[in-house]
Amino acid sequence: MGMTMTQKILAKHAGLDIVVAGQLIEASLDVVMANDITGPMALPIFDEMSKDVFDKDKVVLVPDHFTPNKDIKSATNSKALREFSKCQCLSNYFEIGQMGIEHALLPEKGIVVAGDAVIGADSHTCTYGALGAFSTGVGTTDIARGMADGKAWFRVPTAIRFNLINQPNAYVSGKDIILHIIGRIGVDGALYKSMEFVGDGISSLTMDDRFTMANMAIEAGAKNGIFIVDEQTRAYLTAHATREYIEYSADEDAEYEQDITIDLAAIEPTIAFPHLPGNAKTISEVEAMDDIVIDQVVIGSCTNGRIVDMRKAAAVLKGHKVASHVRVMVIPATQKIFVECIKEGLAEIFVESGCTFNTPSCGPCMGGHMGVLAAGEKCVSTTNRNFVGRMGHVDSLIYLASPQVAAASAIKGCIANPMKVGNN
Amino acid sequence: MKYGKVFKYNDNVDTDVIIPARYLNSFDAKELATHAMVDIDPTFASKVQLGDIIVAGKNFGCGSSREHAPLCLKTAGTACVIAESFARIFYRNAINIGFPILECKEAADDIEANDEVGVDYATGIIYNKTKNKQYISQPFPEFLQHMIEVDGLVNYINNKKG
């Protein structure tokens, strides 16, 4: 019997010709990544197993969550990570100033390439599936072990195949598509499974759209999300990769637990209501409700802080002012994107319209800093989770949306349709 | 058989309510334990006794990869979590730190808050003393059972080396 794309990558990294769903394997890893929350906690565990990291080029540390450090405790943790990186001579430690949000930074730096097997001590590590890699989030002990010997245990997953057909309209992005999908299958709809994205519709999605979609595979409970490698992927890898890459594709007779066809042309701008990413509502449904007046908008994160996201948000905001009762944080995900925003005039559009324009950080996404919510406040956010208390007070409400919906909502002061904002 | 009192929760208990990110500037297990479940059950940390058991619905531990979540529950004294299903990162984190978790829909549906429940980890049988009933959980694969027995991944790896 044939293997899925994920199974083929896992088989190769386990040194096996074939693997089957449910099999427990030990795989060799190409990249082992941690951040300033999971990394410092891993260090004492690492010490119990090893003196040296298995490969100073493959262990990647990115202090991005509570940085620039928000308090003394987080500064102490970052310091431990910094000292460890120096002591181990890691080639991929990124201090603020070179730093970006990990899941935007690693592809941009060419650290992850197609065909890799990657673990990261962050649940959104599944992002790199957009490049045709197997990548998944793990916890601290797994990452400490990976740092020590470059290996991890996995249960080989089954898969759901998503056949994407047709093209989305100009106001529908990867975010709307993935919120639509999670709305359809539920927040545990892909539990323990791979989400494999195939089909002609993929050619109409930018790499940034694909990163957004793979990023949120975890919000459907998936082990990983993965896209076929096409011309756009190859062009991206040619521009960024620091290593040779390997293209994998599923066998023709690969077994999928479920096949789901997604007609991209039929998807509307989609918003996930509190308190689950699966509470999806179309913009038409929202427009039929009473106005949902908001207090804050966040445009950024590992989900939607890339340059295409910035361009789309700026195109909506251009010539408009943010509603007077709304605070707007724009947070480009990496230093490179930050500079591109300046060069392309996007930063000016954000600031002129009344947004803040911030240094790369996970910031408010997990209620860390740079925009924590008070009781009763409502926020439209391009981030990935709208759980109770995720962005601050347990009585605050988060609505997940695309950069275009977020920008339109910032202007109108309530959840708004970007198609109806109009150009000034 | 040791019995513990049950704390019962619904589906999709996420890691942000088990241990909110505002406390993640520390990874001190005892400190984290004082905030366990605070955003879903503010009295949990003060009420939980050594050996008590959490029972929940589907997808327990969904969300982030923070190992602080199973760690704070274990350190607070919780003996195990019984749920209809677990989010995969929480599942492996729990095993990696030697914190028992059991998948059992029947138990998750039937057990109620404050029931007295005990678990035979060798057989996976869950006993409900209050209702005088028993439920059979999904057994772990041998490899994972062994990892739980040696109290987690670090010992497992070190034993393998030695």
Domain boundaries, chain B: 4-161
For B16, nearest residue in chain A (alpha carbons):
A390
Q: pLDDT averaged over chain A?
A: 97
Residues 95-154 of A with CB under 8 A from B: 120-123, 125, 137-142, 144-145, 148-149, 153
Q: How far apart are CA B66 and CA B71, in angstroms?
A: 9
How far, in whole angstroms, is CA A19 from its chain's centroid?
Answer: 28
Q: What are phi and psi of B86, to 5 degrees?
A: -120, 145
Superfamily of domain A5-264: Aconitase, domain 3 (3.30.499.10)
Per-position DSSP letters for A318-382, written without gaps between them:
TT----TT-EEEEE-SBHHHHHHHHHTTHHHHHHHHT-EE--SS-GGGGTSSSSPBPTT-EEEES
Whether the link from the prior residue into A13 is cis, omega within 30° of 0, is: no
Across the interface, do B21 and A221 touch by the CB < 8 Å criterion? no
Look at A40 and B68 and tell me if their CB atoms are within 8 Å.
no
Indicate if the pLDDT at residue A424 is higher than 60: no
Q: Nearest to residue B157, comparing CAs of B76, B79, B115, B98?
A: B98
With a cut of 60, say whether residue A169 has pLDDT above it.
yes
Count Cβ–Cβ pairs < 8 Å, chain A vs chain B: 122
Top residue of B41, B88, B92, B101 to mutate, by most chain A CBs within 10 Å, is B88
| B45/A162 Cα distance (integer angstroms) | 42
- Average of pLDDT values for A240-249? 97
Domain boundaries, chain A: 5-264, 270-420
Q: What is the pLDDT of residue A336?
A: 98
CA distance linking residue A351 with residue A244, whole number of Å: 41
Q: Answer whether residue A166 shows pLDDT above 60.
A: yes
CATH fold group of domain A270-420: Aconitase; domain 3 (3.30.499)
Mean pLDDT of A383-389: 97
The average pLDDT across A113-124 equals 98
Direct distance between the N- and C-terminal alpha carbons of chain A, in angstroms, rounded to an integer: 58
Pick the residue of A65, A102, A153 with the most B CBs within 10 A to test the interface with B by mutation: A153
Put simply, the answer to whether A192 touches B16 (Cβ < 8 Å) is no
In chain B (162 residues long), the average pLDDT of successive 10-residue segments reads 96 97 96 97 98 98 97 97 97 94 97 97 94 92 83 89 71
How many other C-beta atoms can be found within 10 angstroms of the C-beta atom of residue A120?
30
Percent of chain A residues past pLDDT 90, beyond the cut: 99
pLDDT value, residue B162 = 66
Choices 3.10.20.30, 3.30.70.100, 3.30.56.10, 3.20.19.10: CATH for B4-161: 3.20.19.10
pLDDT greater than 70 at residue A423: no
Mean pLDDT of A57-79: 97
Tell me if A5-264 shares its fold with A270-420. Answer: yes
The pLDDT value recorded for residue B161 is 76
Inter-chain contact B154–A223, Cβ cutoff 8 Å? no
